Each structure stands twice: as C-alpha cells, then as structure tokens.
Structure 1
Amino acid sequence: MERQYRLLIIDDEDAILDPYQAFFRKRKFHVDTAHNGKEGLEKLHQDEFDVAIVDIAMPVMDGISMIRAAREAGIDTDFILLTGHGGEKEAVEALNLHVEAWFYKHEIELPELLEKVQEFAEGMPLDEVRRVLSVIPEGEPV
C-alpha cells in the first residue's frame, strides 16, 4: 500500500489555503491547515507532518517565528516557505533555520510546488528514522 504523506499548510489567506488543500488532497495527501503560526505550531506539536508549507507574513505569529519555535521544540518537519514579498533578512533567517525551499506564493505553479513537496516527503519517513536510530547504541557516531 502506498504511504499517504502528511502535509500542513499554514497561511492566513483562504484564497491560498482552499485551492492548495484541494490540489494536494486530489493527489492523495493527508492535508491539514492552519490560519496563523500559533495555530500551525499547535498542530505540529499534536501531530507529525512530513512537510509544512508556511506563509511568512501572518497575524498572531509569523512563519519565521513559528519555524524557529518548532525547531527549538525538536519538531523534525521539512518546511517550505511561501511569501508574497520577501526580504534579505527573512531569507537569511530561513537559511539559518534549515529551510531549503522558498517560493513567491503568487508566482509558484502548483505542479512545481507539488514536485518540491514530494521531494521532501519521499525522504525517509520520520518513523523509519526513529526506528533506525533506536537500534544504534548510544554514543556511537551516526
């Protein structure tokens, strides 16, 4: 049976959330959504996601702050940033948080975003990483 990838989409615009959610669900992803970084962070604490697509500019908690808090909490989800306008400061912060993909939300085509999400999701699943790490004796180099 093919694994169903888990995707979290965090954006304050329903005009982004609704079509993105429909697009990925049609492609057999399990999709959850959040309208701001605080809500997204709560969902990341409650459940495991292979990938999270995160808007930068949101009310309550912005995307960079949310990713920073997730990393500090040890959440090992791959993050893809979306921005309507991005500056050098945000780009540097994203790189420091090990965000490997960044797209302008009004320029990205969904098939291109799908390709990047699949690339991240098809890495070794978190449960498999944990299983492999659990059999390595503590103190051994990985």
Structure 2
Amino acid sequence: MNKPRILVIDDEEIVRISCKKCLAPEGYDVDVAPNGIEGMRLAQTTKYDLVLTDLKMPEMDGMEFIMKAKESQPDTKVIMLTGYTTVEHAVKAMSLGAYNYIEKPFTPDTLITVVREALETKQEET
C-alpha cells in the first residue's frame, strides 16, 4: 500500500517544518510549499490525499487555494491551519470544501489526530 501523500502550505517555515516532522514518522509522505501558488504548482504534478493550508498567506490565501484545488482534485481532503479563526472563516472554508480546520498554535497530537481522521474519512468514501 502506498503511503498517503500530504502537502503542507504555510508561509511560516517553522509550521512547515513542524508539520513534516510530526507527520513523516507517522508514515506519511509530506511535501511543503511556502505559499498557495507554489502549492498549486506541486498539486498539478502530484496527487495528494490531504492538503494542510494556512488561511492567510501572501500571493494566494488558503480560501483561494481550496477553490482552485477542489476544481482539479475534488477528492483531496483539505484542512485549514489558522491563527485567525472566526466562525465566518470556518463556515466559508467548509462551504468551499475544507474537511476541517486547526487553530494555531496546535499540538502534534492534535495535528496527527485530525490528519488521521481526514484520511480515514477519505478512505471510507472511496
């Protein structure tokens, strides 16, 4: 069985590194991108099972990324990472197709649990 592929998009390098360090030992193949444009470039050449994307980023924010990614890879689960959580942002992200969102700062256990749930849901749907 192939390892699930995860893309982490965040303009904060520490978040990208932390996510990769948490998820890779769990058996996931993790790629990282510093912004939505670079994330879209990677998503055009690689089929991801899950994308973790920051909400607020320069060049292309998380909401715009979700809209574009869902057009090309509708089965990919998307989890928003944000330090700017409001009910409105959460509702909008979910209406655009996000599976869930995680508030920053988050613990490794929270990240692993939400990622595992998203991938289990994806597997059940296929």
TM-score by length of 1: 0.79
Paired residues of 2:94 and 2:100 also in contact (CA < 8 A): no
Q: Structure 1: how far apart are the matches of 2:43 and 2:100? A: 19
Paired residues of 1:45 and 1:75 also in contact (CA < 8 A): no
- Name the larger-Rg structure: 1
TM-score by length of 2: 0.88
Paired residues of 1:10 and 1:52 also in contact (CA < 8 A): yes
* Structure with greater contact order relative to length (CA < 8 Å, sep ≥ 6): 2
What's 1:52 paired with?
A: 51
Task: For 1:89-108, list aligned pairs within 5 A.
Answer: 89-106=88-105, 108=106
Output the amino acid matched with 2:115.
V
Q: Which of 116, 119, 122 is residue 121 of structure 1 equivalent to?
A: 119
Paired residues of 1:50 and 1:125 also in contact (CA < 8 A): no
5+ long unaligned stretches in structure 2:
none
Q: CA RMSD in A?
A: 1.9
Q: Structure 2: how far apart are the matches of 1:15 and 1:71? A: 26
Same amino acid, percent of matched pairs: 30
What's 1:80 paired with?
A: 79
Q: Structure 2: how far apart are the matches of 1:51 and 1:88? A: 23
More helix by proportion, 1 or 2? 2
Deviation beyond 6 Å, 4+ runs, structure 1: none
1:26/1:40 CA distance change after superposition, 3 Å = same
5+ long unaligned stretches in structure 1:
130-142
Q: Structure 1: how far apart are the matches of 2:33 and 2:69? A: 15
| 1:61-115 CA distance string (max 9 Å, x none) | 0010011111233442100001011234322321211212111121x21112111
Aligned residues: 125
2:10 counterpart of 1:18: no
What's 1:30 paired with?
A: 29
